[in-house]
Each structure stands twice: as C-alpha cells, then as structure tokens.
Amino acid sequence: MPPDPRRWLALAVIAVAQLMVVLDATIVNIALPSAQQALHISTADRQWIVTAYTLTFGGLLLFGGRIADYFGRKRTFLIGLLGFAGASALGGAAVNAGTLFAARGLQGLFGALLAPAALSLITVTFTEPRERAQAFGVFGGISGGGAAIGLLAGGVLTEYADWRWCLLVNIPIAVLAFVAAIPLVRESKAHGDTRYDIPGAVLATAGQVALVYGFTKAATDGWSSAVTIGWLASAVVLLGAFLFWESRTSHPLLPLRVLFDRNRGASYIVSIMIGAGLLGMFLFMTFYLQQTLGWSALKSGVAYMPFSGGIIAAAVVASRLLPRTGAKALMTVGGVLATASMIWLTRLDLDSSYATAILPSFIAMSFGMGLVFVPLSSLALSGVANHDAGVASAMVNTTQQVGGSLGTALLNTIFTTAVAGYITDHAARASESPGAAQLLQAHAAIHGYNVAFTASAILLAVATVVVIVMVRNSSADRATQPATDAAPAHFG
C-alpha cells in the first residue's frame, strides 16, 4: 500500500488527541484543593480524583490496545474521543464527590481506548522507518510537554475561570479532533486470531481496584481492620488468579513471556515504583503550595514548570548518552538524584522558601527522572519479539499508571494516619490559646507531608536498588534498539 498522502495531517489530529489524554493526567492536580472544597470531599477520599482516572486508564490499557487492533483502530479512536468528551462533561457538571469520581473513571476508560489506538495508528500510518521515527518524536514531544502544559493550564483555568473548566476544556478539543479524524485517518485492523481475553481484563482491573480501595480503607478504618484486610486479601487473590489465567489461556491479555526477561521485568518494577513516588509527591506538593503557603492555583502551576522543563532537557541528554553508557548507568544516577531530592523535601516547614527548599529539589529530581525515563523505555522494548512489541510498550504505560494509582492511595493513607497521630500526641496544645487549635492543624499537616515525602523517597530508593541489582548492562544491550513496531511511552 502506498504511503498515505495525508499522513502528516493525520499525525496532527492524533497528536492533539494524545495531548488531551496527557493533559488530563496533570491538569486536575492543580484544581484538587478547589474541587475538594466545592464538593465537600474528605481528606481520605480526595485521592480518588486522581486515582479513579489513573486506575481505569492503567488497568484497561492492555485491553484497550486489543480492542483497537481487533475492532478497528480508527473506529476505536473515534469512540474514545467522543467518550472522553462525554465523561469530561459529566465531571465538569458534578454536584457531588461520587459523580466526579465516576466521571474520572469514565475518562480513564475512554483514555484506555484512545491512547493505544493513537499509538497503533502512527505505527500503521508511517511505514517508512525514518518517517516513523519522526512521527514518534512528535508524539513523544507532545507526551513530555503535555505534562507541563497541563500544570500551567490547570492553574490558569482554576484561577481565572473555575476548577470545572479543567475538565470541560476537553470537550472542544475532542470534538475538533473527531471531526478532523473522519476524513484524515485511515482505518486498519488486525486479522486472524482476534479473540478477546475478557476474563483476564476483568481479573486484572478488579484486583487493582481492590488493592487501591484496601489502601484507602486503611486511612479511615486502620490497617488491622477486617475491612482493610479483606480488600487487600481480595486483591492478592484476584491478581494471583489473573497470573494463573494468563499462563493457561491461548490468547492472553499479557503474555507472561514478556515479563520473564530480566531487564524488561526490572524496567516494569522501576516504572511502578517511580509512578507511585512521583504522583504521590505531586498530590501533596499541590496541597502544600496552596493550603500551607497560601499560593494561588496559577502560581502553583507556574511553580511546577521547572520540573517539567527539567525532565524534557534531561531526556534529550539521556537519548544522546544511552548508546554510549547503556541503561544501567543512566538509571542509577537518575534514581540516586531523584531519591536525594525527595529526601530534601522532607525538610519543609510552615514558611519554607520556594527558591531554597523546593526549586532545587524540583530541578534535581526532574533531571534524575529524565535520566531514568528514556533508558527505561528502551530497556522495556529492547529485544522483544515483533508480535509482543505492542503489549511490551503498553506495559510501560500501564505499570506507571498503576503505580501512580497505588502510590497515591498508599501515600494519602500514610499522610492521613500521620496527621491524626500528630494531633493525638499534641492534643493538649490545642487548648492553650484561641489560635492554638488552628496552629496545631497546620503543624500536623506539615508533619503529614514530610512523612509522605519520606515514603516517596523510600519508593524511589527501592527503584534505584532494583536497577543496580537486576539490570544487566552489556555492550549488546547498548546497541539494541527498541522493536520497530514499538511506540514510546509517556510519563505525563
């Protein structure tokens, strides 16, 4: 088949859709305090604004990729766009916490259709290797820059319009992309064995939901409560059943051979740990900036810009060094930088300076993460068979999103427990003067933030240890490039 003469226009449409998906992973972060206050969401439950999206998105990405391949990539892409717009409208109109959580979950569901369809459309649209590399470069740039745009846009919309516009802004973007995609994007689909692994998708998603919900119940009922233990035990059973089913079915959602390569398995573990540590950090830093320091949503969004810029700059450096140094050296240096930067944040107080206490950590951490992200994607895709390239690529995004879901729930629980413990230990101080109770709450929040940042540092340290212990960095590894049909992961 000759190259599609409108392929570059099609790429523009696909890139816009990808930008929308990436934006949604960060744009809502800045609006969290406003949304929590407007809808009277408890501290224990506020993490579901983030987690409901990342959990369904990450949990269904692999299944969404299969649907795109079998049902039709263009058709799935269009359905994903319309569904994402509808879910955004529901979230923007939410009058209570349940509606907002449900809307965010629906956004994740349709995002799980949209993202893999977009990746596979690029693969089948650009068949010439040089052009495909250019197309993936554009796609990767959108994915990396989208996080920065989302943080800034979230601040602008929350400050000058309303937090609801952080969701409603998706509607015109999705509609325009839908209209443009109809004439510009070609349809394609896989043939042959096109059976869906529905039991695998149900078990995997249910297991992840049970795990996150178990962490959430720990914040309100305690780690030793029957409800918490029941949900966590259910998660172990469901995820164990998923692995058992995948080893037995003839058309697995996740072929286990993809996991058993030492370097690839290590990259997935690192992806989970980093997703957990980073998204948890963003959650608490947003509340620290707005509720403790009293910053506006816009000022908070601008404060994150050096972090996003540092990741992009470091990614450029890492892509040039990777062929010479291999993945292990870059990921080790990056992990150590990120861990040290997170430890630095545990020193925050009621009146910490952004210039001396936060900015240096953001710069060092972002550079460290950039040094990790590029080789991690290469490590996960190098040496994989062509027919497994799609699932191996999707697994990088899946593990990062699932790690973010679990980390946000776990760290929010740790934060809530730490705050409650601090208030109990210092309750006598609350009666000393009229303003003592308010000051106690402020100090308790600072204590909770620092404990949560300590937990994030431990997660990043574990990821670094996994790199040191598990990753093999031979000269052959340095020369290996990702499979042709693989697509770059994004860490928005």
The domain containing residue 229 runs over which residues?
197-250
Whether pTM > 0.85 for this model: the answer is no
Q: Where are the alpha helices (DSSP H) in 288-358?
A: 297-303, 305-325, 327-345
- Please state the rounded mean pLDDT for residues 290-318: 86
Higher pLDDT, 287 or 3: 287
Q: Does residue 263 share a domain with residue 181? A: no
- 35 has a pLDDT exceeding 60: yes
Q: What is the pLDDT of residues 216-273, one digit of tens each?
A: 787 678 788 899 899 999 999 999 999 999 999 888 888 888 888 888 889 889 989 9
Q: What is the pLDDT of residues 126-145, one digit of tens each?
A: 777 677 667 766 766 676 56
Q: Does residue 377 share a domain with residue 466? A: yes
Asked if 11 and 136 touch (Cβ cutoff 8 Å), the reply is: no
Which pLDDT value is given to residue 269?
93
Which pLDDT value is given to residue 136?
67
Of the candidate ranges 48-57, 388-397, 449-458, the one whose mean pLDDT is the lowest = 388-397
Higher pLDDT, 402 or 105: 105
Which pLDDT value is given to residue 334?
94
**15-42 burial: b if 16+ Cβ within 10 Å, else e:** bbbbbbbbbbbbbbbbbbbbbbeebebe
Last residue of a domain, one of 206, 227, 250: 250
Cα distances (angstroms) measured from residue 119 to each of 60, 69, 110, 115, 391: 15, 11, 15, 6, 12
Domain harbouring 57, CATH code: 1.20.1250.20
Q: Does residue 311 share a domain with residue 244? A: no
- 88 has a pLDDT exceeding 60: yes
- 477 has a pLDDT exceeding 90: no
- Please state the rounded mean pLDDT for residues 27-41: 87
The count of structural domains within the chain is 3
Three-state secondary-structure class, residue 386: helix
Q: What is the pLDDT of residues 360-375, one digit of tens each?
A: 999 999 899 888 887 8
Which pLDDT value is given to residue 396?
75
- Please state the rounded mean pLDDT for residues 2-19: 83
Q: Does residue 342 share a domain with residue 204? A: no
Residues paired with 55 in a beta bridge: none
- 378 has a pLDDT exceeding 80: no
- 322 has a pLDDT exceeding 70: yes
Secondary structure (DSSP) of 236-260? HHHHHHHHHHHHH-SS-SS-THHHH
Q: Does residue 378 share a domain with residue 482? A: yes
Q: Does residue 103 share a domain with residue 220? A: no
Pairwise CA distance, residues 107 & 85, whole Å: 8
Which pLDDT value is given to residue 472?
84
Pairwise CA distance, residues 51 & 406, whole Å: 8
Q: Does residue 204 share a domain with residue 189? A: no
Pairwise CA distance, residues 258 & 407, whole Å: 24
Q: What is the pLDDT of residues 109-132, one digit of tens each?
A: 998 888 888 877 877 787 776 776
- Please state the rounded mean pLDDT for residues 321-348: 92
Task: State the DSSP code for 382.
Answer: B
Three-state secondary-structure class, residue 277: helix
Q: Does residue 242 share a domain with residue 357? A: no
Pairwise CA distance, residues 278 & 307, whole Å: 11
Higher pLDDT, 395 or 181: 181
Last residue of a domain, one of 250, 276, 291: 250
Q: Does residue 191 share a domain with residue 201? A: no
For the packed helices 198-221 and 389-425, what is the interaxial angle rounded to 10 degrees?
10
Secondary structure (DSSP) of 180-201? HHHHHSPP----S-----HHHH
Q: With bands split at pLDDT 50, 70 and 90, how would you rate the model's confidence at 89?
A: very high
Q: With bands split at pLDDT 50, 70 and 90, how would you rate the model's confidence at 23?
A: confident
Instruction: Give the tokens for residue 177.
Output: 């992309």
Q: Tokens 């509606």 appear where? A: 99
Q: Does residue 323 share a domain with residue 406? A: yes
Q: Using alpha carbons only, what angle is made at residue 165 by residues 163 and 171, rounded to the nearest 5 degrees?
A: 150
Whether the CA torsion 414, 32, 443, 274 is positive or negative: it is positive
Pairwise CA distance, residues 114 & 205, whole Å: 18
Q: Tokens 């692994």 appear where? A: 197
Q: Using alpha carbons only, what angle is made at residue 380 by residues 374 and 381, rounded to the nearest 5 degrees?
A: 95
Residue 195, exposed/middle/buried by CB under 10 A (0-12, 13-18, 19+)? exposed
Q: Does residue 202 share a domain with residue 191? A: no
- Please state the rounded mean pLDDT for residues 96-107: 95
Higher pLDDT, 477 or 301: 301
- 490 has a pLDDT exceeding 70: no
Q: With bands split at pLDDT 50, 70 and 90, how would you rate the model's confidence at 42?
A: confident
H helix count then E strand count, the chain = 18, 0
Percentage with pLDDT > 90 across the chain: 33
Task: State the DSSP code for 430.
Answer: G
Which pLDDT value is given to residue 39?
94
Length reported for the chain: 492
- 19 has a pLDDT exceeding 70: yes
Last residue of a domain, one of 212, 233, 250: 250
Asked if 253 and 236 touch (Cβ cutoff 8 Å), the reply is: no
Q: Does residue 212 share a domain with residue 172? A: no
Which pLDDT value is given to residue 79?
96
Higher pLDDT, 294 or 429: 294
